[in-house]
Amino acid sequence: MSGVILYCRKLNELAKLPTKGSYGAACLGLYSIQDIDLEIGKTTIVGTGLAMEIPSSHAGLIFTRSSMLAKHGVLKPATVIDSDYRGEVGVPLFATAPWHVHIGDRIAQIMILPIPDVMVVPVTKLSVTERGAGGFGSTGR
């Protein structure tokens, strides 16, 4: 089996390395090193105590755990970790209901994805599609 190597450095003795919930899981769980109350209507960045070396030509995309909103009313705004970032990975959490984060709670999940090298080319005209310039909601329900 070939895979991607994710080097992780513990910056704090409370830090837990990311883990897969099951063999087929697409993401790795991220854990809190903080014991903190989330304020309703506010975004709080919760520390993981980890620095990561995302492989070159890859990015770490941090997502909300599926149970976070359903069970706790907590959202995780979109977060991208670039391959050249070496600081602590923090997880922004937005509370729609009161919730207390405990040390060791699994607070988010990270997916490591390959990122193509994109070349931007200026043009004066784009190809025609059926959708065209139709924006939000233009493709129906």
pLDDT by residue (tens digit) across 18-31? 999 899 999 999 99
- What does the mean pLDDT of the chain come to? 91
Domain residue limits, the chain: 7-114
SS3 123: coil
Torsion of CA 88, 89, 95, 99, to 10 degrees: -70
Specify the pTM. 0.85
Q: What CATH number should be reported for the domain whose range is 7-114? A: 2.70.40.10
Residue 141: per-residue pLDDT: 59
Q: What angle do CA 40, 87, 96 make, to 5 degrees?
A: 10
Q: How confident is the model at residue 140 (pLDDT cuts 50, 70, 90)?
A: low
